[in-house]
Amino acid sequence: MHAVHKNKQGKRKYLYIIVILVAIIVLDPFSVLGFVRGITSTLFLPFNHIGQNLGESFGDSFDVVLHMGDMHRDNQRLIQENQDLRAELMYLTDIKNENNILRTELGLLPRKDFELIYAEVVVRDSLGGDQWVMINVGAENGVKKDMAVIVGAGVFVGYIDTVDQKISRVRLITHPESVVNVVNADSGAEAISRGRYGLSVVVEDIKKGDKVQDGDMFVTSQIGNKFPRGFSVGVAQNVALSNDDLFQRANIIPLVSLDDIRFVSVVKK
């Protein structure tokens, strides 16, 4: 009996505890749960801030990464567009310069006196030092061997060496085998122009008594009836006697840079 009574008392204690807890939860007369929640919130507040900050930081970092990716793609696109525009500008500039050069050449040509075949240099002698160039006209255009080749208003730069159907080779005045009869435009003194090592031009075999001085212009002569008379070859410099003292000689400064010639004219006989 004593054990049964003790067991009943234990059950009543548990029942009382449950009733009290239910009353606290339902009624919360002293804001006990609020107090507990306040303590709990206070204790975990730093962790909440840390978690919130971490979440915001991660979100911000992710946004930054996405933004950087977009910026990189935009930058690459702008770079490509810039390169395309620069390439187009360079092409248009080159075309404009080419047209200006051609317009200048055509404006200077002596069209009234000669029948000309207009041509463009397509290949240069890269190993021999300005000895010859290839032009884009040939036999089908009326080009023949030994025709004079000029630029501008009549500056002699060479003559046709070989002819194919569509292209021709021009032997320049600097070619070591280039031999051209010339005359002093000021005094009429006759001479022979020769190329030197593919680098320069000299006039030789000038009679000792003929008047020649630095600055005189030498032009093509009609001796041998090879080229028309009057095409400018160059200006005399360093006039001196030959080694045997029988003739005079001089260096010749061409009127154009043979490195830069692009458009030429072949003079038809």
How is the chain split into domains, by residue range? 31-108, 115-268
- For residue range 5-54, what is the model confidence (pLDDT) as tens digits? 455 555 566 666 665 655 555 554 445 555 555 555 555 555 555 555 55
% pLDDT > 90, the chain? 36
pLDDT score recorded for residue 260: 84
d(CA 248, CA 127): 32
d(CA 52, CA 263): 76
pLDDT score recorded for residue 40: 52
pLDDT score recorded for residue 4: 44
Residue 198 has pLDDT above 90, yes or no: no
pLDDT band at 94 (very low <50, low <70, confident <90, very high): very low
pLDDT score recorded for residue 70: 73
Residue 127 has pLDDT above 90, yes or no: no
Mean pLDDT value of segment 238-243: 90
d(CA 8, CA 11): 5
pLDDT score recorded for residue 225: 72
8 versus 199: the higher-pLDDT residue is: 199
Q: What DSSP string describes the chain? A: -HHHHHHHHHHHHHHHHHHHHHHHHHH-TT-HHHHHHHHHHHHHHHHHHHHHHHHHHHHHHHHHHHHHHHHHHHHHHHHHHHHHHHHHHHHHHHHHHHHHHHHHHHHHS-TTT-EEEEEEEEEE-TTTTSSEEEES--GGGT--TT-EEEETTTEEEEEEEEE-SS-EEEEETTSTT-EEEEEETTT--EEEEEEETTTEEEEEEEETTS---TT-EEEE--GGGSS-TT-EEEEEEEEEE-TTSSEEEEEEE-SS-TTT--EEEEEE-
The CATH code for residues 115-268 is: 2.40.10.340
pLDDT score recorded for residue 199: 76
pLDDT score recorded for residue 87: 56
Residue 57 has pLDDT above 70, yes or no: no
- For residue range 160-184, what is the model confidence (pLDDT) as tens digits? 999 999 999 999 999 989 999 999 9
For all residues of the chain together, what is the average pLDDT?
76
Confirm if 266 and 121 have CB atoms less than 8 A apart.
no
236 versus 3: the higher-pLDDT residue is: 236
pLDDT score recorded for residue 111: 47
65 versus 75: the higher-pLDDT residue is: 75
% pLDDT > 70, the chain? 60
Residue 257: what residue type? S
Confirm if 112 and 153 have CB atoms less than 8 A apart.
no
Residue 116 has pLDDT above 50, yes or no: yes
pLDDT band at 242 (very low <50, low <70, confident <90, very high): confident
Query: What is this structure's pTM?
Result: 0.59
Mean pLDDT value of segment 207-223: 90
Mean pLDDT value of segment 211-234: 88
Residue 203 has pLDDT above 60, yes or no: yes
pLDDT score recorded for residue 30: 47
